[in-house]
Amino acid sequence: MWPWGIPLRSRLVTKTAMHSLFQHVAITAGVTVRVSVNFMPEQSRVEAGRWFWVYHIRLENGRDDTVQLRTRHWRISDARGMVNVVDGEGVVGETPILAPGATHDYVSGCELTTSQGAMEGHYSFARQDGTLFEVAIPRFPLEAPPAD
């Protein structure tokens, strides 16, 4: 039993389950960014050269202070080497505040004109005193399965 009352086996099972749900992880300055990505054939129009993925992001505040996500910076690349940079306020219209131990989940999507690509970037977070720091978003592949 750990001091906080959760049996070690339960914590290991939870960690294993989290890894299977979120294959891509980055930790920066005590903030964890987990990413799960899935190709969406029903949203794609392969015959028109359009492939679509949905990604689920979980932000976890492992710090001792409260932080707020302010901005996002994405670098989205396709199989032709084209790079699209996307900068903006918050995520899906929100600038979540994360108390110590808190999490925030959101889902978004990405369309490419190639069947493969990748996404990576960073978030800008604010400390309670207003100073900013960057948190890495791990690079994750966008890969459609081969056509039948």
Domains annotated for the chain, with CATH where assigned, are: 24-143 (2.60.40.1470)
Q: What is the mean pLDDT of the chain?
A: 90
Which pLDDT score is estimated for 15? 54
Pairwise CA distance, residues 46 & 147, whole Å: 9
Query: How would residue 80 be classed by pLDDT, with cut points 50, 70 and 90?
Result: very high
Which pLDDT score is estimated for 100? 97
Which of 9 and 26 is assigned the larger pLDDT? Answer: 26
| Residue pLDDT, tens place only, 97-148 | 999 999 999 999 999 999 999 999 999 999 999 999 999 999 999 999 987 6
| Residue pLDDT, tens place only, 85-97 | 999 999 999 999 9
